[in-house]
Amino acid sequence: MTVLPVNRLDLEGDVAALTAALLDIESVSGNEASIADAVESALRALGRLEVVRDGDTVMARTNLGRSERVILAGHLDTVPLPSVPGSRGTVPSSWEGEVLYGRGATDMKGGVAVQLALAAQLAEPTRDVTYIFYDHEEVDAALSGLGRVARSYPEWLKADFAILLEPTDGTVEGGCNGTMRFQARTTGKAAHSARAWMGENAIHGAAEILVRLRDHEPATVRVEGLDYRESLNAVRISGGTAGNVIPDAAMVEINYRFAPDKDLAQAEAYVRNLLEGFDLVVTDASAGARPGLDRPAAASFVAAVGAEPKPKYGWTDVARFSALGVPAVNFGPGDALLAHSDNEHVEAEAIRGCLRALRTWLD
């Protein structure tokens, strides 16, 4: 489907209507040019922000000399459109009463609309604000526009606090668990299965790995007042070559989601200890992020929102801010469980409520 670029976004009107306008610009990862054009021109039209465009990432900031600076960040891309005919989480968007359907309705054009509305509506914010709209979030982490900003424009990521407007149903979700993947390999000796005693079964050799994973009781770890629930799972297994051959190799892929009290080395050591005696290789690792809710800017934000903060389980880009020394939380409209679903949708009032909370805090 080809959607014509929307040249004018109305940043002053209803933020839910603005969300619908953003949804109507198809922006599956890799195809963010049109939406980035629309965002860039809307921000430049405001006339009072410093605006930079890099690829399909758009950055804008106030320079009011405030004592604190806050980053509001969101990604412009979406996952692919649903393939099931009749799905409503698609382009163009559609309304059912006060519920807005479309690809990106929760993840995360409602949040992007709130960023844009704040940029237009906060003439004199109490804190300097940096707005970041980035590309390629829904694909390989190495492609992320936010990573490119960190490499090419590190001064744009200097701040006292960052809010990522990913969907959290209007609560504040602090920090995130880390994630690490391992491959555990067992080896044996191939033989014809009619003479099995000539060989050594590598799949049988993996039984103990599965038993230890199955019997492992994952911890819940309190970090700065939030309870992070861990998990440790076999996510893939393979082994064997033919129906009449004793397998000489098997592989178990393991995913450990660990609380942000641990760094990568500690997380790795934990799994190596649990699976002592087996050959483990780390294939993928991303550190978690501490919630940072003890920092003043974070504390005042949590107080302004008024709801009890929760831990974030999935890895999100708050970890990138955390790694740069900027405490960060997720706070945005919509239910994260609807993200990527065929009938992705968001309630108009959730978007408006998010805007109100942030405007109250920053005005």
Position 85 contacts its own copies (CB under 8 A): no
Q: How far is the CB of 219 from its own copies (least distance, A)?
A: 12
Sequence-distant (≥ 6) Cβ neighbours of residue 3 within 8 angstroms: 24, 25, 26, 34, 91, 92
Give the nearer residue to its own copies in terms of CB position, either 205 or 332.
Answer: 205
Cβ atoms of residues 43 and 115 within 8 Å: no
Count interface residues toward its own copies (CB under 8 A): 46
- Provide, rounded to whole angstroms, the least separation between the CB of residue 202 and its own copies: 9
The neighbour count for residue 2, using CB atoms within 10 Å, is: 5
In angstroms, give the least distance from the CB of 191 to its own copies. 10
278 lines the binding site for its own copies (CB under 8 A): no
Across the beta sheet with 50-54, what order do the strands follow?
50-54, 57-61, 128-134, 69-75, 161-164, 328-330, 173-174, 310-311
Token pair recorded at residue 322:
């955390």
Instruction: Please tell me whether residue 140 binds its own copies under the rule CB under 8 A.
Output: no
77 in catalytic set: yes
- When asked if residue 207 is in the footprint of its own copies (CB under 8 A), the reply is yes
Least distance in Å: CB of 246 to its own copies?
A: 6
Answer yes or no: are the C-beta atoms of 61 and 157 closer than 8 Å. no
Given 137, 138, 173, 335, the catalytic residue = 137
The residue assigned the tokens 């995130």 is: 176
d(CA 332, CA 328): 13
Exactly one of 77, 107, 335, 344 is catalytic; name it: 77
Q: How far is the CB of 100 from its own copies (least distance, A)?
A: 24
Through-space distance between the first and last CA atoms of the chain, rounded to whole angstroms = 40
Q: Is residue 196 within the footprint of its own copies (CB under 8 A)?
A: yes
Please give the distance of CA 85 from its chain centroid, rounded to a whole number.
27
* Residue 314 binding its own copies, by CB under 8 A: yes
Q: Which is nearer to its own copies, 12 or 284 (CB)?
A: 284
Nearer to its own copies, 60 or 209 (CB): 209
Is 243 a binding residue for its own copies by CB under 8 A? The answer is yes
Taking CB under 8 A as the rule, does residue 282 contact its own copies? Answer: no
257 contributes a contact to its own copies by CB under 8 A: yes
Q: Based on the shown chain and the rule CB under 8 A, indicate whether residue 308 belongs to the binding site for its own copies.
A: no
**Residue 222 is a binding residue for its own copies (CB under 8 A):** no
Interface with its own copies includes 237 (CB under 8 A)? yes
Figure out which of the listed residues 125, 167, 247, 327 binds its own copies, where binding follows CB under 8 A: 247
When asked if residue 123 is in the footprint of its own copies (CB under 8 A), the reply is no
Residue closer to its own copies (CB basis): 209 or 358: 209
Q: Is 160 a catalytic residue?
A: no
Q: How far is CA 337 from CA 13, 42, 76, 340, in A?
A: 28, 31, 19, 8
- Does 229 interact with its own copies (rule: CB under 8 A)? yes
Are 215 and 165 a contacting pair, CB within 8 Å? Answer: no
From candidates 158, 189, 192, 222, binder to its own copies by CB under 8 A? 192
> Which residue in 50, 70, 75 sits closest to 129, CA to CA?
70
- Near its own copies by CB under 8 A: residue from 72, 246, 293, 346: 246
Closest distance of CB 138 from its own copies, Å: 13
The site for its own copies (CB under 8 A) is made up of 177, 179, 181, 192-197, 201, 203-207, 210-211, 213-214, 218, 229, 231, 233-247, 250, 252-253, 255, 257, 284, 313-315
Active-site residue list: 77, 137
